Structure 1
Amino acid sequence: MNRRQQTNRFYKTGFFIVLTILMIILSILLIGAIRLFGNVASDPRERPTTNSENEELLSFQMTLDQSNLLLDNLLEEDIPFYFYLAEDGVYLEGEVDAVLSSIDVAMRFEPTVQEDGSLLLEADNLSAGFLSISPETALRMFNQIAELPEWIYLYPSEEHVVIDLRMIEELEPFGLRFNDVNLSEDVLDISLIQ
């Protein structure tokens, strides 16, 4: 009889231990899903309006390698993603923390020079590990986890990024503007403006 009571107590204890472990795992998954796919404020940081008719002081051309070196030096090290230019587009790659691991996210953008000299990057392709997420969701996650430099603007709902080199504080009172971006020809035409 005593042995039977010990066996029943063992099963009851085991049941509650397994139930507790399952509740903890379920809670972690729920918190992770809320954190990963939670609704982030959709109001992007607004770009200040600047005079697009600034005086051009110097015009120069850069190759993709030189541009990537410049981007590496301009981006802060604590940003969890990086931009780089290739012949087939501009890439944004990084890691997003998920529930039990991190997800590698890579986006490809098609660059277009705007009239004001900024570079509009329109999302063209996205890969996010094994997950199926939209470029809008990926940009929202990047916007949530990173403090961006003052010259990078993410617009998740429009699925694009704007790089405005005129806003780099370290260059004031000068700025840089894009004149032409031809990645297939390995040429970026940039002007120093005042």
Structure 2
Amino acid sequence: MSRRQQTNRFYKTGFFIVLAVLIIILSVLLIGAIRLFGNLDSDSRERPTVNNESEELLSFQMTLNQTNLLLDNLLEEDIPFHFYLAEDGVYLEGEVDAVLSSIDVAMRFDPMVQEDGSLLLEADNLSAGFLSISPETALRMFNQVADLPEWIYLYPSEEHVVIDLRTIEELEPFGLRFNDVNLDEDVLDISLIQ
């Protein structure tokens, strides 16, 4: 075999190896992008209707630390994010799987008590590692990867979360409703209802 034929064979083999590596890299990136941003049209499940004229049995106040302890006990350990309250807002932090690694996502919400006793958390601030994503996209990703408790509802298109403690199965036939949330004063006013 001549030297020229060996050189041509070397270049052909090299070309096909580089082509295969590029195809593998593009496939991994495409699969990762589909996994990360796929199914963006799915929104949260609908909240069940609950009798708004429930009887108040007991009213109590909790501090931020007590509320955070309650949230930690109510949330299951396999949920990939963490809710907690601070003086400047309600935070949702967690990791979302991306193409080759995971992205640390942190969102800050402003809480607002609704007439029905649920707590509406409106997205105010978002940080997602070095990526620039919208709160809507972050909530959609959390909605896809998390098996949420029945009392947390994510609404990505409205960029808010609803916490409705009236629907906690473990408390049935009772429930909890928010009366007032004042993070500056370190007070949450909650009622036990039937």
TM-score computed with the length of structure 1 as normaliser: 0.96
Following superposition of structure 1 onto structure 2, how do residues 112-123 of structure 1 map, counting pairs within 5 Å?
A: 112-123=112-123
Range with bigger deviation, 48-57 or 108-117: 48-57
Aligned twin of 2:163: 163
Aligned twin of 1:92: 92
Shift of 1:99: 0.6
C-alpha distance in structure 1 between counterparts of 2:39 and 2:133, whole Å: 14
Aligned twin of 2:9: 9
Shift of 1:137: 0.7
Shift of 1:52: 1.7
Gaps (5+ residues) in structure 2?
none
Aligned twin of 1:27: 27
Shift of 1:42: 3.2
Q: Is the 8 A contact 2:43 2:154 kept in 1?
A: no
Following superposition of structure 1 onto structure 2, how do residues 24-173 of structure 1 map, counting pairs within 5 Å?
A: 24-173=24-173
* SS in structure 2 of the partner of residue 157 of structure 1: helix
Q: Does 1:182 align with 2:182?
A: yes
Q: Is the 8 A contact 1:89 1:111 kept in 2?
A: yes
Gaps (5+ residues) in structure 1?
none
Residues 68-112 of structure 1 show CA distances to partners (whole Å, capped at 9, x for unaligned) of 111011001111111010110001111111111111111100000
Q: Is the 8 A contact 1:177 1:193 kept in 2?
A: yes
Q: Is the 8 A contact 1:89 1:183 kept in 2?
A: yes
Q: Is the 8 A contact 2:43 2:157 kept in 1?
A: no
Sequence identity of aligned pairs in percent? Answer: 90
Shift of 1:121: 0.2
Residues 30-87 of structure 1 show CA distances to partners (whole Å, capped at 9, x for unaligned) of 1111221223333421111112221111111111111111101100111111101011
Shift of 1:9: 1.4
Q: Is the 8 A contact 1:42 1:157 kept in 2?
A: no
Cα RMSD of the aligned pairs, angstroms, is 1.2
